[in-house]
Amino acid sequence: MIDGLFIVLEGVDGAGTTTHTKQLKDSLASRGLPVHQTREPSDGPIGVMIRQILTGRIVVPGLHGSRPPTWKTMALLFAADRADHVESEIEPNLRDGVTVISDRYYHSSVAYQSATAPEGADRAGEVARWVREINRYARKPDLTIVLDVSPEVAAKRRAERSKGSEIYDDLELQRELTRFYSNIERHFPDERIVHVDSSGSREDVAARILHHVREARGEKI
Ligand code: TMP
């Protein structure tokens, strides 16, 4: 049995990764392709805990009030969730010949955990390398699609949706993340990573994503 294709959608909060993961899954499924949609943080035990941290349900208590865990703890938690996610869900599906589409993967760790390292740290260098290192054995995606959108458009989209606030909502941080994502491939030189402008209509963006997926599948475009 030939392994399924492992596809990842990435981008800042509000870039549309969740919408387009679902959209892509639906359009591949409607063509008769076996396909599995998933996300990170995953729905496994560590992923569920991470979501509680993101929404402020779990905090680190301290003398001067509580705070979220640091970027280092977060990077290790995300890496542990990922190892579990790959072993329990991603690889079994791929081995069954199922195409797996993940809403976020280790590129998010390199972007978010590096961007939240303290000012003065070598975020794009030493820090990003360490985050990659702790994810070294996570299976490499066959195709990663980065949805590009300006921090302002992304902020507007985040404000419009019903989801409550999360620890990475800060506009300045989202600007730094936009910079990380604009050149994320430099941290993953041996991977197939493409960018899609996500500021257009949902249909246009979906069509461009599908184009890249068909190309990666070796379909005649
Ligand atoms: P989402 O469900 O809105 O995508 O929320 C996940 C949040 O977690 C989002 O702000 C990105 C962040 N994140 C990281 O910081 N590191 C990671 O490795 C992953 C997968 C997500």
Residue 87 forms part of a structural domain = yes
Residue 111 forms part of a structural domain = yes
pLDDT in tens, 63-87: 899 999 999 999 999 999 999 999 9
Ligand 1 atom nearest 79 alpha carbon: 18
- Indicate if the pLDDT at residue 164 is higher than 80: no
The mean pLDDT value of the chain amounts to: 96
Q: Are 106 and 138 in contact (CB under 8 A)?
A: yes
Residue 211 forms part of a structural domain = yes
Mean pLDDT computed over 142-157: 95
pLDDT in tens, 119-146: 999 999 999 999 999 999 999 999 999 9
- How many other C-beta atoms lie within 10 A of the C-beta of residue 49? 16
Residue 1 forms part of a structural domain = no
pLDDT in tens, 2-34: 999 999 999 999 999 999 999 999 999 999 999
Q: pLDDT band at residue 111, thresholds of 50, 70 and 90?
A: very high
Residue 221 forms part of a structural domain = no
Q: Are 1 and 92 in contact (CB under 8 A)?
A: no
Q: What's the domain range around 160?
A: 6-216
What CATH number did the domain enclosing 92 receive?
3.40.50.300
Q: pLDDT band at residue 115, thresholds of 50, 70 and 90?
A: very high
Q: pLDDT band at residue 221, thresholds of 50, 70 and 90?
A: low
Beta pairing partners, 80: none
* Residue 123: predicted pLDDT: 97
104: left (phi > 0), else alpha (psi -120 to 50), else beta?
left
pTM of model > 0.95: yes
Q: Kindly list the protein residues whose Cβ atom lies closer than 6 A to any atom of ligand 1.
A: 13, 40-41, 54, 78, 104, 108-109, 112-113, 166, 168
Residue with CA at minimum distance from ligand 1 atom 3: 13
Indicate if the alpha-carbon torsion angle 145, 150, 156, 159 is positive or negative: positive
Q: Are 5 and 149 in contact (CB under 8 A)?
A: no
Paired tokens of 99: 């195409």
Residue with CA at minimum distance from ligand 1 atom 9: 13
If one counts the domains in the chain, the total is 1
**d(Cα 106, Cα 10) in Å, to the nearest integer?**
9
